[in-house]
Structure 1
Amino acid sequence: MHFTSALCLLLGSSAGVLADPILTSFPNSLALPSSFDPIKEAYWTGLPHHRRTPFAVSPDGKSAYLAYLDAAYASVIVQQVDLTTFEAVGTAYETTGYEAAGLVAHNDGFALMVTIHATGSTNLPPTGDYVTAIIRVTNGVESWRTPVNGPGVHPNTMLTATTDANGDLVYSETAGLYGAYFVVTGYTGDASGHFGDSIQYVNTKGALQTITGASSDFGCSHNTGIGLEAADAAPFASICAEDQGDIWLNTETQYMSGVKIANENTTNGCSGEPMGGMSGSYSNLALFPDTTKYIFAWQSRGALDLTENAWLGTPYTQCSPRWLNHNVAIATMSDKNTLTGAEASSTVGAHNGDGQVNWITYSTTEDHQNVHVATLNPNLALVTWETLTNFDCQPVPLGCSGTYAGTSFQFVDSTGAKVGSPTSSTSFFVSGDIANVGTNKVCWPYVDMTWDLSQPLASGTPVSKMSFACASSGDSTAGTASSPSSSSSSPSSPSSSSSPSPPSPTPSTSSSSSSSSSSVVSSTGAGAVTSLRTHHHVASRTFQTITIPTAPVAASRANEYGTCVW
């Protein structure tokens, strides 16, 4: 077991002395009933993302489940996992499905969010599109399954399908509700052909609940960043990142409005993947247990030079990026509707648009991505991210390739202050949900493989085993498996826990780009090509063609996605 040197930091409201994160791993501990492809390509760039493996632990702490899409891309499998050895328990559940999009563990089973083919003979989605469903399995037997979009779901307003179910599934025992937040594509009504997101609620008997002020048929535009966490009553805490320039705490609005968390450099059809993008939007928003407090983590390019969003008008703004590389940012909330700090600026003409951000990293020489957060107790959270060196970051805001330099783990308290130093590892990363396991300990699944972010990659080598890793504080036993090689400092970490004062000039690593909807930008780099994409904005009913650099994969998937529209 690896122990770091800093063992003398005391949290005011937690019991005992805390170390820096203590990491342990269980390589290849779980034999999979069917093989698994660990890579899913990003739509815009073709760069590899971790294909999500949802992981959840039951409230009584006795059962854990792992969900994944098999390598044939046709079945979703849920395997029970022993929380001591991280080996398989019993026979796996299997269902026809095309994406494992979320998982909730119960004392008697689990609930799974999955994409499936719609059933029936009328009002079906276009060929190739799926719908999202929640499936409840009790003691190994399917109790019910409820589609949350597709035929028959809010038909009076619009019908939506699911191309990729970026999003999450959560459950509130107090409310007796499952909450699902996921990306959708409209195929009837005014939203036909446009991309948005949807928030739906299902009760414990599998009945879809339309809740005024909580349910949403079609919300944030081109959302590739979703945060969702349970609350004692609907609406649940929610965050969206849209393609018009902002990240919103939209619990009260379920739309691209509410409390403005951050300005982000975006362009029509591309929100920049602040919460992971393809196969992302999990473990980005977490509730501190036994409190009303939340913490949110994302990857950001920073924000400079705010301009008015000409399409949407006041108070919407757009910005230029401070860097083309990403840094790690967090925000804390006192409750599901309220930031503890200031909102992001909406002042047109402001030079600094990110003065409110609490930066965990602040580097011009490294890129940071695959950002996640989980809470260990009422006052302690863990923020994780991957670091790339020798990066190549594309403007508009596309992705970054580079040399993978490891995954970092940093404790922060419920005020957002850093606690101790980061611990880093090159032995594992985070590719599935981070779940509480025991006291002051969280664990997650990963695949024991060489992680390569140097170039686009459409798929990976299928594997037959899953690995697990855990992080704990000094108040908990971290496990008995072999520990990975770690260091007490991450590849990049600023010296202060508070947000540093942003420098006036844009760092030299950022080339000139514009977030204006009408701008034409060019890009250089491996695999970059230029293609035309048409953005349709429903609210204003205006149309504009923009030139965006994309990887060849985008063109090859044009039939699947069509033009990038909202």
Structure 2
Amino acid sequence: MTITDQIQTDVVVAARSGDRRAIGALVTDHLPLVYNFVGRMLGRHPDVDDVVQETMLRAVRDLPALREPSRFRPWLMAIARHQVTERHRTRHALVSRTAPFDEESHEPDPATDFAGVTVLRLDMSVQRRQTAEATLWLDDDHRETLALWWLEAAGVLTRAEVAESMGLSVAHAGVRIQRMREQLDVARTIVAALAAPARCPGLTAALAGWDDVPGALWRKRIARHLRECDVCGAAGKSLVPTERLLAGAALIAVPIDLQSRIAVLGKAPSAGLPVAKLAAAGAAVVTAAAALLFLLDSDPEQPSAVVAAPPSPVVAPSATSPPSPSPSVAAKGITTTTITLPVPFAYRIPGYSGKQHSRRTPFAVAPNGTAWLAWLAADGANVHVTPLGKDFERSGDDIVVPGREASGLIAHDDGFALLTRRADPNGNTFGDSGAYLIRYRDGKQAWTSLLTDAGTSTPMLVGDLAWNGTVYGAYFAVRDESGHFGDRLAYRSAAGKPVPGGWDWGCSHNTGIALAAEKKTPFASVCANDWKDGLFLNTGIGFPRPGAARLDHEECVAGYCGEPFGGDGGGYSNLVRFPDGRYLLAWQSRGWSRASPDPADDYGYLVTARWENHNVAVTSLAGKDSPAVPLTTDPSTRAIRYLTSTAATDHVNVRIGRLGTAAFVVWDQVAVSGCSAGVCDGRYTGTYGQVLTAAGAPGGKARKLDVQVGGDLAPLADGSLAWPFVDKAPDYRSRGKASPTTRTITIAIMKS
């Protein structure tokens, strides 16, 4: 039994005894599984939500009777199978008494068509889309088998669990799956032939009288033609094996309205009763379910001993519940200083998904202990750079630098260097900006260096700036004249002159950047890439290719990869270096349940996300160009440690900084109200921090902070850590709305 399996078994055991947190975890983790299974079994039927809800209600009621907790998933799937069978039986009986047979197959509302939702939401390739359509041609028993095998192909269920769910031996289940696959292959060929630009005359004749509704009779008629027609039969010869297609297709997210219905049930008066007492009293199914489903709307910060991870190896992943409340870190060494701003600062910004995130506020400490804070004024035309003394109080008036973004900042004893963007002197098709590195010395501009050239521009830098004492490294996003996105790493000398190295066009389709200085170039760099579905250590390489170590598998859909480094992109203090040359990288991750090489894309992968929400992930690097543990496709790989592992809470705004000889990871926690395509809405419940060793092992428990994090985490000479933030609760409930503004920024200082 794996660590993950043991944790699940422990949760089930606790849930049987009435532990409300454990019950909530079971519902949250298994609701997508049941929803996808029922949806694919019922196909086009509009009753999917009702059957899913009834399945969960019965599972709660009968949970105390489950004898073997390790077999919870096949037990749950057997309940779902029974509920679907009952729905079919009841439906057919009703139809036989009330309507002619041909009225039973009426066309449903497209909004309730599960196959249609599959097509729309998964952003499939043509063959994935056709596979979803092919399921409508299957017999009911084969659709049931496919529903289970689909979950096996996605890495959610094992073959043994599939067999047990079907009430068969593994061998017999294999035979049934093979028969289903044969019928599915026929159905896929039919769909491909029907989608051909021009149909052969024989197929047109064979379709005479067809009402465009898939069914067994017409499947057999069309299949007969396909076997006899070389032209139409060829449509099936170029099909990619189904299991390969399914490996890249994620589970469909549970609709928010269904989650809302469940949450409403959880507010029933008897929701607080333990499940065991409800079952013993013979309570109604709905009342029992209320006890379970109440957890979906409860505070995720309540303590839970059930899902706490056992001690694990230094780099092994650790499954945990949301951090339990503990004495505030602020009371144990965090002090704050508030700075008044001369003009408003719009401190939130929508990311790729439209979700609001903290706007980048670069913060840097000079060798002499003074500091600089950069922030974009609400007018969007000027970057203010605020001077701070060693006590982080304002030490003078802001230096106002014309610029449209504050993307990186280096503090010097005599001034600062700023990465920003301005009007592009070369002009471009899109009206984008040019990227600039600007050096100020003794309050005056010393030099500017244009980092883009003719043919490339930057709509938004979302980058980072690093300095090793002699050379600056600026890493930022670019766009060419065709509209294609990538990134550029440019080096400049202390005088602003070009330094060899870097690249003009590196990580194509970049969705996140991390950069850290080394004594010599190349600097350590990481990019998130939506084309290759992952995070890459691309130090000195640029484009992710063989030689660029893959650090993570992330499912990417239509350019969205879960915003691993936050919605405003850039380094955001996601990569921290230790004196011995080791690194820790932190990000928000949806993990993966399956990852396999993409045969159509060199060095790309087909990835299925493990969670719809994000959890906190950390990996260790042995140096600037090699991970401490090579990544594998096994979801339990030792290369990544998950500081959190829950489906009920979103973890975003992840940052990491060096705290003395250790590291400190921080993140915002959000009680999820719904997720779609990896984007979650919910209520902000606090900012949490976790101390890690240089190897990535947790040092004690995660703690809830009395402060937030909005800008770079800057290490201080005495081993302390400082960062800026806006002292207002962030809004994670909605997308795309205008940013609020503030006239103050607070600096937090945490002692090591």
Q: Partners in 2 of 1:280 and 1:239 — Cα distance? A: 10
1:81 matched residue in structure 2: 388
Mapping 1:456-467, distance limit 5 Å: 456-467=735-746
Q: Partners in 2 of 1:231 and 1:20 — Cα distance? A: 35
How far off is 1:382 after superposition? 0.4
RMSD in angstroms over aligned alpha carbons?
A: 2.0
Q: Partners in 2 of 1:78 and 1:470 — Cα distance? A: 20
Secondary structure in 1 matching 2:695: coil
Contact conserved, 2:584 with 2:618, CA < 8 A, in 1? yes
Question: TM-score, length-normalised on structure 2?
Answer: 0.54
How far off is 1:338 after superposition? 1.6
Contact conserved, 1:125 with 1:150, CA < 8 A, in 2? no
Pick one of 37, 50, 55 that aligns with 2:346: 37
1:435 matched residue in structure 2: 714
Contact conserved, 1:297 with 1:373, CA < 8 A, in 2? yes
2:467 matched residue in structure 1: 171
Contact conserved, 1:247 with 1:260, CA < 8 A, in 2? yes
- In structure 2, what residue type is equivalent to 1:418? P
Q: Partners in 2 of 1:366 and 1:334 — Cα distance? A: 31
Mapping 1:436-451, distance limit 5 Å: 436-451=715-730
The answer on 1:67 being equivalent to 2:374 is: yes
Contact conserved, 2:713 with 2:721, CA < 8 A, in 1? yes
- In structure 1, what residue type is equivalent to 2:463? G
Change (3 A) 1:277 1:260: same
1:263 matched residue in structure 2: 553
- In structure 1, what residue type is equivalent to 2:683? T
Pick one of 311, 328, 333 that aligns with 2:621: 333
Q: Partners in 1 of 2:516 and 2:463 — Cα distance? A: 11
The answer on 1:91 being equivalent to 2:91 is: no
The answer on 1:160 being equivalent to 2:468 is: no
Change (3 A) 1:180 1:450: same
How far off is 1:353 after superposition? 7.2
Q: Partners in 2 of 1:281 and 1:248 — Cα distance? A: 14
Q: Partners in 1 of 2:373 and 2:652 — Cα distance? A: 23
Q: Partners in 2 of 1:441 and 1:455 — Cα distance? A: 35
Structure 2 unaligned segments of length 5 or more: list them: 1-326
Pick one of 236, 251, 257 that aligns with 2:523: 236
Q: Partners in 2 of 1:438 and 1:405 — Cα distance? A: 32
Q: Partners in 2 of 1:294 and 1:342 — Cα distance? A: 14
1:563 matched residue in structure 2: none
Contact conserved, 1:99 with 1:165, CA < 8 A, in 2? yes
Q: How many percent of aligned residue pairs carry the same amino acid?
A: 34
- In structure 2, what residue type is equivalent to 1:372? R
Q: Which runs of 4+ in 1 moved over 4 A?
A: none
How far off is 1:450 after superposition? 2.4
How far off is 1:271 after superposition? 2.8
For these two proteins, the number of residue pairs brought into alignment is: 422
2:98 matched residue in structure 1: none
Secondary structure in 1 matching 2:390: coil
Higher helix share: 2
Structure 1 unaligned segments of length 5 or more: list them: 1-18, 152-158, 474-566
Secondary structure in 1 matching 2:595: strand
The answer on 1:254 being equivalent to 2:542 is: yes
- Greater shift, 130-139 or 270-279, is seen at 270-279
1:477 matched residue in structure 2: none
- In structure 1, what residue type is equivalent to 2:477? V
Pick one of 360, 382, 392 that aligns with 1:52: 360
How far off is 1:255 after superposition? 1.4
Greater relative CO (CA pairs within 8 A, separation 6+)? 1
How far off is 1:430 after superposition? 1.0
Q: Partners in 1 of 2:328 and 2:347 — Cα distance? A: 29
The answer on 1:374 being equivalent to 2:650 is: no
Contact conserved, 2:631 with 2:637, CA < 8 A, in 1? no
How far off is 1:287 after superposition? 0.9
1:390 matched residue in structure 2: 672
Q: Partners in 1 of 2:613 and 2:659 — Cα distance? A: 29
1:276 matched residue in structure 2: 566
Change (3 A) 1:334 1:355: closer
Q: Partners in 2 of 1:267 and 1:309 — Cα distance? A: 15
Change (3 A) 1:279 1:237: closer
1:150 matched residue in structure 2: 453
- Greater shift, 239-248 or 275-284, is seen at 275-284
Q: Partners in 2 of 1:138 and 1:327 — Cα distance? A: 42
Secondary structure in 2 matching 1:99: coil
Contact conserved, 2:528 with 2:534, CA < 8 A, in 1? yes
Change (3 A) 1:219 1:391: farther
Secondary structure in 2 matching 1:448: coil
Deviations 1:162-187 (A, max 9, x none): 111111001011xx110011111112
Contact conserved, 1:20 with 1:419, CA < 8 A, in 2? no
Q: Partners in 1 of 2:389 and 2:688 — Cα distance? A: 26
Q: Partners in 2 of 1:185 and 1:384 — Cα distance? A: 32
1:201 matched residue in structure 2: 491
- In structure 2, what residue type is equivalent to 1:160? T
Question: TM-score, length-normalised on structure 1?
Answer: 0.72
Higher strand share: 1
Secondary structure in 1 matching 2:702: strand
Deviations 1:504-563 (A, max 9, x none): xxxxxxxxxxxxxxxxxxxxxxxxxxxxxxxxxxxxxxxxxxxxxxxxxxxxxxxxxxxx
2:475 matched residue in structure 1: 181
Secondary structure in 1 matching 2:396: strand
Q: Partners in 1 of 2:567 and 2:740 — Cα distance? A: 21
How far off is 1:252 after superposition? 3.3
Q: Partners in 1 of 2:638 and 2:555 — Cα distance? A: 15
Deviations 1:95-116 (A, max 9, x none): 2111001000011111000011
2:421 matched residue in structure 1: 115
